Structure formats: structure tokens, C-alpha cells
Amino acid sequence: MSTLFSPYAIGPLTLKNRIVIAPMCQYSAEDGEATDWHLIHLGHLALSGAGLLIIEATAVAPEGRISAADLGLWSDATEQALGRVLRAVRRYSPMPLAIQLGHAGRKASSRVPWEGGQLVPVDEGGWRPLAPSAIPHAADEPAPQALDDAGLGRVLAAFVAAAQRAHRLGLDAIELHAAHGYLLHQFLSPLANSRDDAYGGSLANRMRFPLQVFDAVRAAVPATLPVGVRLSATDWVDGGWDVEQSIAFGHALRARGCAFLHVSSGGVSPRQQIPLGPDYQVPLAARIRAEVGLPTIAVGLITEAGQAEAVVADGRADLVALARGMLFDPRWPWHAAATLGAQVEAPPQYWRSQPRGLGALFGDVRIRQR
């Protein structure tokens, strides 16, 4: 039997297999509101047969958007727009749906990637980003505004309100975004955090605000709703955040009831030197899983069925997540099941698509047509 296609439970949430669709920004919202693009995008991914679909990084406040086209969940209007999409998706797919809640911090007010991704200045329609410290992401950018105590309180309250909206929408899990150089990661990394108060300096101080956000979100939603964290295990820069600090962060999160860790890396500094290659982030996930003991999702150039099977079968991670690979092949789980001799859930409208000779890919189905 395939380990990749075996069930797995994250707390009270049981997944039919170990394949996760990672959150992928679409830069297609209008004033934070989900559009028909999200209906199409999430709709077809929800028919893929994966075990869990995580909705893209969703800003908890307007100023927390990476770009002006980011998805948000900070108002009744943004909640209603996303609710419309979710109702349509759920009508045709039983796949569990999670959401990644985040704040871009100093990486906010950017152009969308296909327009270059650079900072949009205030005089060109952008806004001044917020950050732990007045340290720009790139040397040629203006400094962001350092958050004071009142600003920290507003950000924390925004995470709580967005989590409550996610629960009201019936989402099955929440992932807090503490990776890829965004606000919570900025607090963790000494490359972005030079504060001299209780939120900067020592590891305990740099972890303080991300842990406060986790505690507040965990307390704001029912215990039956899993709350996990995505983290960058290393900045890939000397003197930055690293895997040893990630393990300490993981232990602190586990003590607070964190349901899972989704292990990525990088994003906080243009000076990063990332050794790209198949499975390049899996060793980070494996070490964190071994030392922290939380359910762990591995990601990063996992593209082949046998590769994903080996990651979970060998115990290097509990689940594997695909992002770009799933965009390129939205039926990746079907093809992986065919390769591994497993079965996958598919809508009955597509049962006739199974090529002859693959066995019972979609289970013991019966197709009759006049």
C-alpha cells in the first residue's frame, strides 16, 4: 500500500491522503475580495484528489497585503466574497479547505509578480509598509514604519478577527504565515528585527510577538479547528534565522497547541543563497519533525510521485505539499495514484476519463450510458 495515499489526521481533521495543495498567491482580488478567478482556481484544484487544499496567503488587514490585488479577510465584504467562492466549491468537492492568514510587513505595497514585484511608492499609489524595525527589505527601498505597541495591538487584533471570520466561513484549518520574509518571519529573523524592547534581541524576545499572535488566534477559535504555522526554517544567510532557532520556535508552538508545522525556507533577505534542487527543503522538515514531534508538511521541488512517496514512507515528513507543480498539473494526485497503484477520489462527472488498463483508479465505480 502507498503511504502517500493513506489517511492522516491533524487533530480532529482526517485527510484522505498525505497530499497538500500549498497556498499560492493569485494576485487577483479586488479590494481584498475574492473574484471569479478564485472560483475557477480553487474549484478546479478542489477536484484534484488531494487530501487538503490551503487557500493562498490572505491578508488580515489592507496594509498587510503583498500587493493591492491580494486576497483579504478583514471586513464583511471580504468575508462575503470568499464565502460565495467556498459555497460553490463545496457544492462539488468534499476536500477539506484551510486558509493561510498573513501580514506582509515590510514586503507589502508591491507590484504583482508579472509587473516586476518591486515596491510601489506612496506617490505612485502604494502605502508605507509596517515592520518590526525600520529596515528596508532591499537596500534601495525606503524604510518601513516600525510598529509601536499600539500598532502591534492592531496587528494582533486583525489576526484574531480574520481567524474568527475563517471559522465563521466553515474552513477546516488555519495556517499562520510566519515564513517567506513576511511580518511574523520578520520578527523572528535578526536580519529584519533590530528592536531593543521586549520584541527584539534574544531569541525569546524575537519569538514573542509571533507566539502572542498564535496564542490569540488559538484562543479565538474552537479547539476543534486546527491551527498550524508555516515557517521558513532558515534564512539561508549567515547570522540570520536558522534551523536550530526554528526547532526552538517549534517546541514553543507545540506547548501552545499548534496542530502542524509547514516547513519552507528563505524570503527575508535578497542576500539569501538557496541551494535549489529536488527535495532541497525536505531535510529541514525532517529535522524539525524529528526534534519537535509535530505533524510536519514538507515542500520544495517535490514533483514526482515516487519522490513524494519516499518522503512520507521514510518518515521525513507526514505530508507533502505541492505548489507550482500543482498549477502545472492540476491532476497531479490522479497521476501519482496511477503510478503508485493507489486510488484517488474524483467527481463522478470525470470517472469516464480513466484510461484503460489502470485498474480501479477511482475506486470500484460503475459507469453505464445509454
Q: What are phi and psi of 324, to 5 degrees?
A: -60, -35
- Asked if residue 329 has pLDDT above 90, the reply is yes
Tell me whether residue 365 is in a domain: no
Q: What is the pLDDT of residues 95-149, one digit of tens each?
A: 999 999 999 999 999 999 999 999 999 999 999 999 999 999 999 999 999 999 9
**Residue 151's CATH number:** 3.20.20.70
Q: Once rounded to an integer, what is the mean pLDDT over residues 223-235?
A: 98
- Residue span of the structural domain in which 54 resides: 8-353
In a domain, 3, yes or no: no
> What three-state secondary structure class fits 39?
helix
Separation between Cα atoms, residue 341 and residue 339, nearest integer Å: 6
Within the chain, residue ranges assigned H as helices are 36-45, 76-92, 149-168, 183-188, 203-220, 243-255, 282-292, 305-313, 324-328, 332-340
On whether residue 358 sits in a domain, the answer given is no
Q: Which of 182, 199, 280, 350 is catalytic?
A: 182
Q: What total number of domains does the chain contain?
A: 1
State the Cα–Cα distance between residues 96 and 90, nearest whole angstrom.
9
Q: Using the predicted structure, report yes or no on whether residue 368 has a pLDDT greater than 90.
A: no
| 2 belongs to a structural domain | no
Rounding to the nearest 10 degrees, give the CA dihedral for residues 71, 301, 172, 43. Answer: 60
Alpha-carbon dihedral 38, 174, 233, 109, rounded to 10 degrees = 50
- Domain assignment present for residue 95? The answer is yes
Q: Catalytic residue at 182?
A: yes
Name the β-bridge partners of 100. Answer: 57, 175
pTM of the entire predicted model: 0.97
Alpha helix positions (H), 256-323: 282-292, 305-313
Amino acid type, 176: L
Residue 238, judged by CB atoms within 10 A of its CB (0-12, 13-18, 19+), counts as exposed
Quick check: is 364 in a domain?
Answer: no
pLDDT digits (tens, 9 = 90+) for 337-358: 999 999 999 999 998 888 877 7
